[in-house]
Copies of this chain bind each other. A is one copy, B any other.
Amino acid sequence: METNNKDLHAELVVNKMMEKDLFSQWLGIRVLEVKEGYSRIAMEIRAEMINGFGVIHGGVCFSLADSAFAFACNNRNNLSMALDTSINFLKPTYPGDILTAEAKELHNGRTTGLYLVTIFNQHQQQVALFKGTCFRTGRNLI
């Protein structure tokens, strides 16, 4: 079963990454699903994650998307580095909200890759859109 083996391997890579990823751990990120070039992760917003306006700090939202991106673009065991990333904020979120980030691969090139990450709140409303371009180093992670 080719596909399942690839997805299992992708999961192993992400588990290894998550083990050492202290900031994703601080954020409380849980990995929900991993497939080749794909990831879906979630976290709950805590009081200490707000900015001066009482809503989630943009950097926390970006961090969730960036972790989903990293888990998707590295999971073929080809170490990839973020080059250019962007995020659009569509809706404010608040402490207690549960955010889910889903990373999808739009392009898997030999030397570069392109991913879109959509962040939803617990009401399935889209709260942010992230786009990430990575460079593939060709080195293994595990």
Q: Chain B: which residue is nearest A118 at the CB level?
A: B106
Copies in the complex: 4
Query: Which residues in chain A, 36-91, are within 8 Å of chain B measured between CB atoms?
Result: 47-54, 57-60, 62-64, 66-67, 70, 79, 81-90
- The main secondary structure of chain A at its interface with chain B is mixed
Asked if residues B23 and A59 are in contact (CB atoms below 8 Å), the reply is yes
Asked if residues A83 and B85 are in contact (CB atoms below 8 Å), the reply is no
Query: Which residues in chain A, 6-30, are within 8 Å of chain B measured between CB atoms?
Result: 16-24, 26
Q: List 17 A-B contacts (CB under 8 A).
A: A20-B51, A21-B57, A22-B47, A23-B51, A23-B57, A23-B59, A58-B66, A60-B63, A81-B89, A82-B89, A83-B88, A84-B84, A84-B87, A86-B87, A88-B114, A88-B131, A112-B135
